[in-house]
């Protein structure tokens, strides 16, 4: 976590949490979601326009990545100064990129080691790693298939509906706030 963020948290300890305003898609892209966009539907709903505006500012994306964490309930958030901005997930909290030399990095760029490779009933491929659980980026599924075929990774089948419970993450922290 950035020092400036830690300082802001100490200075303003009681800032309310923010829900629904930031999303992470299945390709590792960040989206800002204002009130108008949120009114269109949930981030992962597939409703046109419900994702919001794609973030393209490299320094902002890097700042979000450095301050992206999970709480004890498996809700992922971006610590924006003193405020936690909870993230709506289209798929999983991490999106894995696989390099041709089989180095695996998350969407933030942090390297990791693969512990398990899974595939759901729709054919989506996931990795459990030392760095956490996530979806393999669609452009890298071929590299994952090569690792499976070569016996580097053993494939396990899993139901998509069980992933959040099994790997301890909440896809929509905002939905937990609605009573």
| pTM beyond 0.85 | yes
Average pLDDT over residues 109-133: 97
**Average pLDDT value for the chain:** 93
Each residue's pLDDT tens digit, 33-77? 999 999 999 999 999 999 999 999 999 999 999 999 999 999 999
Tokens representing residue 51 in the block: 């994702």
Residues of the chain with CATH 3.10.540.10: 3-91+169-177
Residues 67 and 76: their CA atoms lie apart, in Å, by 10
Residue in the structure block whose two tokens are 């509906």: 161
Structurally, what CATH architecture does the domain formed by 3-91+169-177 represent? Answer: Roll (3.10)
What's the gap between Cα 12 and its chain centre?
27
Are 88 and 22 in contact by the 8 Å Cβ rule? The answer is yes
Pick from 118, 133, 136, 121: nearest CA to 164: 133
Residues 19 and 85: their CA atoms lie apart, in Å, by 6
Tokens representing residue 161 in the block: 């509906």
């Amino acid at each position: 976590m950035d020092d400036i963020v830690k300082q802001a948290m100490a200075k303003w300890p009681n800032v309310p949490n923010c829900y629904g305003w930031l999303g992470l898609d299945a390709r590792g892209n960040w989206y800002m979601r204002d009130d108008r966009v949120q009114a269109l539907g949930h981030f992962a709903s597939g409703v046109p326009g419900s994702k919001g505006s794609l973030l393209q500012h490299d320094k902002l994306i890097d700042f979000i990545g450095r301050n992206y964490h999970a709480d004890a309930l498996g809700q992922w958030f971006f610590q924006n100064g003193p405020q936690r901005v909870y993230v709506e997930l289209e798929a999983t909290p991490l999106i894995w990129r696989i390099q041709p030399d089989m180095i695996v990095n998350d969407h933030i760029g942090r390297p990791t080691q693969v512990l398990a490779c899974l595939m759901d009933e729709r054919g989506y491929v996931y990795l459990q790693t030392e760095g956490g659980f996530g979806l393999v980026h669609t452009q890298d599924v071929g590299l994952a298939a090569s690792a499976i075929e070569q016996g580097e990774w053993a494939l396990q089948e899993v139901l998509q509906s069980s992933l959040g419970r099994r790997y301890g993450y909440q896809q929509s922290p905002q939905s937990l706030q609605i009573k």
